[in-house]
Amino acid sequence: MSSSEYSDLAAALRGLRAESGLTIATVARRAGMSTAKLSKLENSRLLPRVADVERVLTALRVPGGIREELMALAQEAVAEQRAWRVYKQLGFHKKQAEISAIEAQCSTVRLFQPAMIPGLLQTAEYVQSIFGRQSGMSDEERVRTVENRLRRQVALYDQEKIFHFVVCESALRWRLLPRAAMATQIDRVGSLSRLINVSVDIIPLSGMKTDFPMTAFCVFDQRLVSVETLHAEISTRDPKDVGVYLDFFEEMHQLALRGEDARDFMSDLASKMRQVEG
């Protein structure tokens, strides 16, 4: 995106908010970002991410034609990357707020996770264990981050949304907690999978596989993919890229246990963990 296009987009966001009659604080709250961040976007002091632009346009209830035009401008840089160190500097609690805003704006979330329990399915103890490992994080920041992640789970009870998780058995077995607590975490996943709009498929370690689970990713509707790498989070809206992840998700789905079979598998694993602990 050139500097002139950058300025045009910023001016358009600023003008649309002025026309709406909404305060910058109101729009920022609806978009799940700080007032300072929105101010920087509106005044060309911060390079706009596609997800940020979409959240602002949704908060402003911008009509289709104008929305498409501005999104096309924002999507010229289709692939985006943000290093985890940047999130650490900004505060991981803000990252949780960003994800929550994106989840609020879509109807279907598909998440593939080979290594850990998905955030929306984590117990408080599991979340605390994850962020307790973050060096340099203040106690206040850790508390805010844990609270924001757990608060996101309210979305699971919105029956107008569909959540489809495909999780590898290795994620269930990767111990971040004592065995009894991990068993409780697995039971939590099984319990949430009974919600009418939530599916949790489990890929067992046994059996032949068709491909390799290289990295975790999340597909929001059929328009945005967020991929977690070791050093950064990468997102893309290119339809061809999104299609690659949707196809892979379906391939992994076909390898997985589903419904009662998946819940029986998790229940058995949890029971075995408790027996070993005892």
The pLDDT tens digits for 18-37 are 999 999 999 999 999 999 99
How is residue 57 written in tokens? 């346009």
Both 149 and 39 in one domain: the answer is no
**Residue 189: count of CB within 10 angstroms of its CB:** 24
Contact 169, 202 (CB under 8 A): yes
* Domain end (from 46, 77, 108): 77
We report the CATH number of the domain holding residue 55 as: 1.10.260.40
- On the question of pLDDT at 183 being above 90, the answer is yes
* Domain end (from 30, 59, 77): 77
- On the question of pLDDT at 4 being above 70, the answer is no
How is residue 105 written in tokens? 């704006």
Q: What is the pLDDT of residue 16?
A: 93
Both 108 and 158 in one domain: the answer is yes
Q: Residue 89: CB partners within 8 Å, gap ≥ 6?
A: none
**Whole-number Å distance between alpha carbons of 107 and 207:** 33
Between 6 and 7, where is the model more confident? Answer: 7
Both 226 and 120 in one domain: the answer is yes
- On the question of pLDDT at 3 being above 70, the answer is no
Contact 252, 212 (CB under 8 A): no
**Whole-number Å distance between alpha carbons of 177 and 180:** 8
Based on the structure, what is the number of domains in the chain? 2
Mean residue pLDDT of the chain comes to 90
Both 73 and 90 in one domain: the answer is no
Percent pLDDT > 90 in the chain is: 59
Taking residues 154-178, report their average pLDDT.
96
Instruction: Kindly state the helix (H) or strand (E) to which residue 144 belongs, with its residue range.
Output: helix 139-152
**Whole-number Å distance between alpha carbons of 6 and 12:** 10
Its domain, for residue 134, covers: 81-277
- On the question of pLDDT at 70 being above 90, the answer is no
Confidence of residue 203 (pLDDT cuts 50, 70, 90): very high
Both 90 and 197 in one domain: the answer is yes
- On the question of pLDDT at 73 being above 90, the answer is no
Instruction: Kindly state the helix (H) or strand (E) to which residue 200 belongs, with its residue range.
Output: strand 198-203
pLDDT single digits (tens) 99-109: 888 888 899 99
Both 70 and 113 in one domain: the answer is no
What pTM was estimated for this model as a whole? 0.76
Both 70 and 86 in one domain: the answer is no
pLDDT single digits (tens) 229-251: 999 888 887 788 999 999 999 99
Q: Which stretch of 111-120, 145-154, 180-189, 263-272 has the lowest confidence by average pLDDT?
A: 145-154
**Which of 227, 231, 229 is CA-nearest to residue 245?**
227
**Whole-number Å distance between alpha carbons of 153 and 139:** 22
Instruction: Kindly state the helix (H) or strand (E) to which residue 198 belongs, with its residue range.
Output: strand 198-203
Residue type, 236: T
**Whole-number Å distance between alpha carbons of 275 and 264:** 17
Both 208 and 256 in one domain: the answer is yes
- Where residue 162 falls (left for φ over 0; alpha for ψ -120 to 50; beta otherwise) is beta
Both 269 and 239 in one domain: the answer is yes
Both 60 and 96 in one domain: the answer is no
Both 28 and 136 in one domain: the answer is no
* Domain end (from 37, 61, 77): 77
What's the sign of the alpha-carbon dihedral 96, 37, 226, 130?
A: negative
Percent pLDDT > 70 in the chain is: 95
**Whole-number Å distance between alpha carbons of 138 and 145:** 11
Both 68 and 87 in one domain: the answer is no
Angle among Cα 68, 75, 107 to the nearest 5 degrees reads 65
We report the CATH number of the domain holding residue 97 as: 3.30.870.10
Taking residues 163-180, report their average pLDDT.
97
pLDDT single digits (tens) 86-141: 888 878 888 888 888 888 889 999 999 999 999 999 999 999 999 887 767 888 88
Q: What is the pLDDT of residue 6?
A: 64
Confidence of residue 65 (pLDDT cuts 50, 70, 90): confident
